[in-house]
Amino acid sequence: MMNLKVFGVARDIMGGGEIALTDSIHSVGELKALLLNRYPKLKELNSLVIAVNQKYASDEVSVAETDEIAVIPPVSGG
Amino acid sequence: MMNLKVFGVARDIMGGGEIALTDSIHSVGELKALLLNRYPKLKELNSLVIAVNQKYASDEVSVAETDEIAVIPPVSGG
Amino acid sequence: MIKITAKPIDVQKVIDTASSLGAGAVNVFIGTVRDSVHNKHVRWLEYEAYESMAVAEIRMIIDEAAHRWQLQGWAVSHRVGTLKPGEVAVVVAVAAVHRKESFEACQFIIDAIKAKVPIWKKEVFEGGEAWVSANPPLVIHSN
Amino acid sequence: MIKITAKPIDVQKVIDTASSLGAGAVNVFIGTVRDSVHNKHVRWLEYEAYESMAVAEIRMIIDEAAHRWQLQGWAVSHRVGTLKPGEVAVVVAVAAVHRKESFEACQFIIDAIKAKVPIWKKEVFEGGEAWVSANPPLVIHSN
């Protein structure tokens, strides 16, 4: 099982700040495709980025259940 | 009699913060020429500017005894 | 000092933390909550952070700035939670030998914080609310 | 608020004076006394001002900046007298709707203060002292 931390508007769209996926996922690219398919409103965001172990990660980065994985919508700090 | 306010290094050179001149002076240019002649160390400064009634004044500005006249060496505030 | 905090920020303390006897210049940026945005009255803002990653990202930004502008000191504090108009959301303070460096470094840091750091705000108006969609995070790392 | 003062500057008070509910950004420049200049240990600095004219010149600078960057608030305080290393010599605080304007306006103001305003400082070292000769005043008015 893969646990996702979900923030900001993505949390509202996905219905929670902690989401557990039972799907078999091996890369950031696969995860993003799955999320965009399951939560189509995510497509309306300017961007959707995945952080793996607290680093922004590109699609080819591999992910495992032991990684800390976060769903990062457009940031707006400051 | 013309009273000068004198600041910073010019005060050290001219020997006081308030200097009274008995000379007949009609313009900023005349005043500067007189000061540079009487206090030659003023020539060593990067600049020597006269303020008339709290405004920096160019050489052609006329001066009278009733004006507030100040000797302004290079500034270094901040 | 890098701090993500739910308590009101003590601006003077952030400045004091950044200050240094070797510095002639301290530049401070204070981001505050405006009372109106796009002509709508703001009731409050809600800030949230991915705290551990936010601290790590800010540290990377600071490290780059400290090296590039030879900073003598620095401090960053970012508020989370509910903020009313007039409250301080973020303070960046940097100390440098000369003023030009202090301005450049401070602006670099706040620009990078707004562009990259995983912090989000929601604006709550009379009769509505909206997540602010300022920037996609700019830097993507691959491994 | 424009203030030339012989008393220590309360930085927070200058910031509070500049702050405005309509502003999202406050930029603050703090000029402090360094403990060394050109590798010489600084014992203290002596600042003096042609006070009435200094206030008038700062007002002209502020007026220009307030108009150019649509400032929401501002405050300037400059210290005179004897200052030890670490003490605050000048504080400029400006509030603007957005951060870019706050940085530009604050830098413009402190640059202009250093270039134009009749204030002088003397550095007192171990075994010597020197008037700082930073800038000839740049703007000459003719009538």
Q: What is the mean pLDDT of residues C112-137?
A: 86
Distances in Å between the Cα of D121 and the Cα atoms of B9, B19, C57, D111 are 9, 21, 41, 16
How confident is the model over D76-102, as a mean pLDDT?
A: 97
B20 DSSP β-pair partners = B3
What is chain B's mean pLDDT, rounded? 95
Which tens digits make up the pLDDT trace of A25-40?
999 999 999 999 999 9
**What is the structure's pLDDT at C139?**
46
Distance of CA C100 to the CA centre of its chain: 20
The answer to whether residue A75 neighbours chain C at the CB level (below 8 Å) is yes
**Cα(A43)–Cα(A28) distance, rounded to whole angstroms?**
16
Report the predicted TM-score, pTM, of the whole model to 2 decimal places. Answer: 0.93
Do A51 and C50 touch, CB atoms closer than 8 A?
Answer: yes
A57 vs chain C: nearest CA distance in angstroms? 5
Show which of residues 42-71 on chain B sit within 8 Å of chain D, judged by CB atoms.
Answer: 45-47, 49, 51-52, 54-58, 60-62, 70
Q: How confident is the model at residue C130 (pLDDT cuts 50, 70, 90)?
A: confident
Grade residue D138 by pLDDT with cuts at 50, 70 and 90.
very low
Cα-Cα-Cα-Cα dihedral sign, residues D36, D41, D46, D49: negative
Chains A and B touch (3+ CB pairs under 8 A): no
pLDDT at A58 over 70: yes
Cβ contact C–A (≥3 pairs, < 8 Å): yes
CA of D50 vs chain C CAs: smallest distance (Å):
23
Please report the pLDDT score of residue C43 as a whole number: 94
- Reply yes or no on whether the pLDDT at C55 is more than 90: yes
Residue range C100-117: mean pLDDT, rounded: 97
Q: What is the CATH number of domain D2-125?
A: 3.90.1170.40
pLDDT, position C138: 45
Average pLDDT, chain D: 92
Q: What angle do CA D117, D65, C37 make, to 5 degrees?
A: 150
Burial annotation A49-63 (CB, 10 A radius, 16+ → b, else e)? bbbbebbbbeeebeb
Q: What band does C135 get if pLDDT is binned at 50, 70 and 90?
A: low
Query: Has the ipTM of the complex gone over 0.85?
Result: yes
Q: What is the pLDDT of residue C19?
A: 94
Q: Could you give the CA distance from residue C26 to residue C91 in angstroms, rounded to a whole number?
A: 13
Q: Which two tokens stand for residue B26?
A: 């009609």
Tell me, what's the pLDDT at D143?
46
- pLDDT given for residue D5 in this prediction: 98
